[in-house]
């Protein structure tokens, strides 16, 4: 725990940062499940001493944050503050932090002013590195660009011409949940009743994804078998995020659950559900995922591997390519190239970042974030609104809570990346003069996440410090 006086100084810096965050960074994205409300309340509350910020009662009339990173107050400097720092000054601050032994021998960096696209700092920015989960920034950007933020993923039920067999067809939506599956069964039973059918056989169709089903890392609690039909990401427990036990065959499990729901809805299902192909008939019933903008936010905030793989495959389908690891990787790269982004040396072996063969550059990540901050490109805005907020949400909820990094609390929004020996952080930060900066720090052969993550946090927090950049 820091000395009292040192903590007071750090807390003062954090309080100033949180005040700026309340008006410039905390964005009300398409989905608001209480997370954004809590974030706004905490951003308006004063900072206190201790190892973590203690919660405070919400003020009677908390200020609602400005809904933008593209708002004028973020992309231009407030009156009376310097409009730009000298890159040499920024290098003097960041170079010693980037040299932290906790980041291992391989490290690259890029810092860009999103308003101008000017690189303020770079160290090996064009060197391809293993990105871990920061690759999800590229995955989600490609999906948004190819499909648009309003795209929804369907799950359908069709019947044969004689009505004796119905087929549950997966469209690649890993967010399908029991409530929506129940509603789909109810709608299906109603449609069958209108046709006078009281008993059916049930098939399920996963042919949208040609395979392989297993991620190259093999069976793993971080990702389910990759299939076009699943419920709750194939989770076998009550968790919604993070590692969890996964079913060996999420499609069969979903079809079995659907058969039971059909039975409850008054339709007898004969035999066990079996794999099959959907007939070319009009759907009896259909359910849709949330809009793609919402799915992108969820993917980034929670680092959802199942959703990331699904979105990569949706991009492949939009490009007319197979919805496989290879097809998705090619589609993501092609879509980013179409946007004029620097893809030289990149490789997208998967959409989630679990594959160590992935390669991206710090320059690509900051270019993506800069595009997302461009007021002329609202389609990409969920890249920013979905980034976890330092000290508040998602995979950054428990970071930026100690004196060396407290200035980044509420001001740093970033996607984390963690594999054994790989630690990365890429996102945005509000600088003291009000500018929105995009940054990417990639480190390889790191000795331990317990050393690397604080070092990455110090780098990003330095950009939000009282005298930077």
**Active site residues per annotation:** 133, 136, 303
* DSSP state letters, 402-444: STTTGGGTTTEEEEEEEETTEEEEEEEEE-TTS-EEEEEEEEE
| 460 within 8 A of 439, measured Cβ to Cβ | yes
Q: At 460, list the tokens.
A: 């990003």
How many other C-beta atoms lie within 10 A of the C-beta of residue 266?
12
Here the tokens at position 91 are 């290098």
CA dist 413 to 177, 195, 358, 387, 395, Å? 29, 53, 23, 5, 10
The total of other beta-carbon atoms located within 10 Å of residue 338's CB is 13
Instruction: Give 265's DSSP letter.
Output: T
Residue partners of 266: CB distance under 8 A and separation at least 6: 189, 193, 198
Q: Which token pair is 104?
A: 């291992």
- Tell me how far apart the alpha carbons of residues 342 and 361 are, in angstroms, rounded to a whole number: 8
The verdict on whether omega for the bond into residue 109 sits within 30 degrees of 0, i.e. cis, is: no
- Count of alpha carbons within 13 Å of 320, Cβ hemisphere only? 0
d(CA 46, CA 16): 9
């Amino acid at each position: 725990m820091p000395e009292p006086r040192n903590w007071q100084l750090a807390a003062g810096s954090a309080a100033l940062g949180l005040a700026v965050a309340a008006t410039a960074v905390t964005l009300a994205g398409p989905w608001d499940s209480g997370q954004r409300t809590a974030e706004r309340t905490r951003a308006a509350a004063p900072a206190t001493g201790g190892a973590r910020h203690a919660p405070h009662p919400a003020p009677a009339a908390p200020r609602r944050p400005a809904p933008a990173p593209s708002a004028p107050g973020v992309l231009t400097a407030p009156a009376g503050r310097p409009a730009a720092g000298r890159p040499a000054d920024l290098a003097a601050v960041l170079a010693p932090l980037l040299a932290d032994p906790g980041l291992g021998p391989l490290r690259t960096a890029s810092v860009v002013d999103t308003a101008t696209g000017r690189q303020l700092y770079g160290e090996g920015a064009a060197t391809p590195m293993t990105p871990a989960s920061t690759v999800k920034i590229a995955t989600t950007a490609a999906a948004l660009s190819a499909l648009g933020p309003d795209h929804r993923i369907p799950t359908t039920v069709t019947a044969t011409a004689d009505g004796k067999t119905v087929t549950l067809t997966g469209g690649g939506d890993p967010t399908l949940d029991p409530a929506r599956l129940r509603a789909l069964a109810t709608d299906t039973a109603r449609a069958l009743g209108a046709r006078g059918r009281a008993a059916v056989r049930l098939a399920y169709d996963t042919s949208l994804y040609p395979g392989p089903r297993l991620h190259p890392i093999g069976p793993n609690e971080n990702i389910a078998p990759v299939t076009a039909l699943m419920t709750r990401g194939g989770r076998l427990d009550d968790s919604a995020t993070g590692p969890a036990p996964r079913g060996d065959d999420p499609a069969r499990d979903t079809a079995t659950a659907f058969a039971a729901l059909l039975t409850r809805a008054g339709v007898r299902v004969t035999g066990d559900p079996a794999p099959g192909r959907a007939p070319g008939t009009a759907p009896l019933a259909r359910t849709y995922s949330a809009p793609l903008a919402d799915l992108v936010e969820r993917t980034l905030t929670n680092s959802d591997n199942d959703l990331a793989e699904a979105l990569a495959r949706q991009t492949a389908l939009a490009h007319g390519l197979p919805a496989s690891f290879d097809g998705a990787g090619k589609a993501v790269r092609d879509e980013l190239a179409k946007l004029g982004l620097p893809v030289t040396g990149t490789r997208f072996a998967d959409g989630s970042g679990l594959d160590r063969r992935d390669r991206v550059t710090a320059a690509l990540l900051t270019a993506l974030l800069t595009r997302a901050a461009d007021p002329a490109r609202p389609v990409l805005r969920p890249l920013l609104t979905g980034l976890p907020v330092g000290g508040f949400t998602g995979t950054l909820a428990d970071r930026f809570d100690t004196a060396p990094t407290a200035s980044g609390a509420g001001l740093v929004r970033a996607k984390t990346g963690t594999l054994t020996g790989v630690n990365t952080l890429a996102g945005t930060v509000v600088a003291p003069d009000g500018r929105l900066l995009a940054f990417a720090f990639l480190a390889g052969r790191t000795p331990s996440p317990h050393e690397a993550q604080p070092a990455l946090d110090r780098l990003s927090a330095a950009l939000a410090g009282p005298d930077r950049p």
